[in-house]
Amino acid sequence: MAENKPAVWVFCEQANDEPLKIGLELLAKGRTLADQLDTELVAVILGKDLRAAAPCLIKGGADRVLAVQHPDLAEYAAEPYADVLVQLAKERQPVVWLFGATFVGRDLAPVVAVGLETGLSADCTELTIGADGLLHQIVPAFRGMATIICPAARPQMATVRPGVFQALPPDETRQGEVEWLTAEPVKARLQTIGRQRYADQGAPLEEAERVVAGGAGIDGQEGWDLLNQLAQALGAAVGATRPPLDDGFVAEGQMIGQSGKTVRPKLYIGIGISGEMQHLVGIQDAELVIAINKDPKAAIFPAADYGIVGDYKQIVPLLLEQLQMERQV
């Protein structure tokens, strides 16, 4: 590994000074990119007390961890976090920098990019090092995919949604270096005066082994009640495309696709979903895809392992009946 070669960085989010899963997912991809560039993979994490968090990032694939500790960094705030990260990047000059496309990452990464006068690609579904040695940032586009490169400015920055990449199994034998850094971040003009935590509604959609999803073809609340019955019978999470979200039938956290979540279940059933690229990018890693649609020319069928052409109001009750019979055997 070449010394002093610009490194690949991953910003790792934390909660209560514990690293979040998205950071470990990005380290897995960052490991591949750093190896291709023959350089270090560096995890960057900010918090109050990171003594337990930093070693986890080494086990997750990082060669080095830049752990910046300060009481004002205990909880995320855009101004102090961006202030610290911009100064750190100006000193160390990373070549690539990955952020999660989370609430924090989508807020923070653009501020950092502006501070560093570089570009930023959002919601990438793949990242590769091209023959030109540049980071090829692949994003969904109309009727296909687009590749974005940043030929001049550095670092090359991208955000990636949770679930797009899979974290590496922790390697307890992996060796790396943790740099314990201190900083005096600027004071945030917005102060957190309280937090409200909502009760978990079962396993997150992106971690579900079975997913039943509905699209614009689901007719009103009665149709969604039927879809929910199927999901319950299968022990599946419920997902959706954007139209049902806009119509108020599902919550924002249930949307799958380019501007929603990425899922990789063992079983995915799409009902009344046309199959636009913006949705298909969110299910491309599903093991088994079953599509139900009354339009035989629906775009989802070529992406499905099994397709059922017909009215879901007739098909879903038959599936429920069969599931009930199997339970009685």
The full DSSP string for 118-167 is: --EEEEESEEEE-TTSSEEEEEEETTEEEEE--SSSSSEEEEE-TTSSPP
Any domain includes 55? yes
Any domain includes 15? yes
Handedness of CA 74, 79, 80, 85 (dihedral sign): positive
pLDDT at 2: 46
pLDDT at 284: 87
Q: Both 225 and 133 in a single domain?
A: no
pLDDT at 105: 95
Any domain includes 199? no
- Domain endpoint, select from 150, 182, 214: 182
Q: Which tokens belong to 41? A: 């993979």
Q: Both 94 and 214 in a single domain?
A: no
List the pLDDT tens digit at each of the 329 positions of the chain.
445 689 999 999 998 888 999 999 999 999 999 999 999 999 999 999 999 999 999 999 999 999 999 998 988 999 999 999 999 999 999 999 999 999 899 999 999 999 999 999 998 989 999 999 999 999 877 666 789 999 999 999 999 988 889 999 999 999 999 999 988 888 777 777 776 665 445 567 888 999 999 999 998 899 999 999 999 999 999 999 999 988 889 988 899 987 788 898 999 999 999 998 889 988 988 999 999 999 999 999 999 999 999 999 999 999 999 998 887 76
pLDDT at 198: 52
Q: Both 47 and 157 in a single domain?
A: yes
- Domain endpoint, select from 182, 215, 248: 182
Rounded CA-CA distance 131/88 in Å is 29
pLDDT at 274: 92
Q: Which tokens belong to 316? A: 């879903």
Residue bearing tokens 């690539």: 96
pLDDT at 320: 93
Number of domains in the chain: 2
Given a contact cutoff of 8 angstroms between Cβ atoms, the answer to whether 292 and 272 are in contact is yes
pLDDT at 329: 61
- List the beta strands (DSSP E) in 198-256: 210-214, 237-240
Rounded CA-CA distance 293/56 in Å is 45
CATH code at position 30: 3.40.50.620
pLDDT at 189: 77
Residue bearing tokens 């419920």: 238
Q: Both 241 and 323 in a single domain?
A: yes
pLDDT at 1: 44
Continuous segment of H or E residues that includes residue 105 = helix 103-116
Rounded CA-CA distance 139/86 in Å is 25
Q: What single letter denotes the amino acid at residue 295? A: D
Given a contact cutoff of 8 angstroms between Cβ atoms, the answer to whether 46 and 68 are in contact is yes
For 111, the domain range is: 8-182
CATH code at position 273: 3.40.50.1220
Other residues' Cβ atoms within 10 Å of the Cβ of residue 301: 18
Q: Both 162 and 215 in a single domain?
A: no
Given a contact cutoff of 8 angstroms between Cβ atoms, the answer to whether 18 and 48 are in contact is no
Q: Strand pairing of 156-160 and 210-214?
A: unpaired
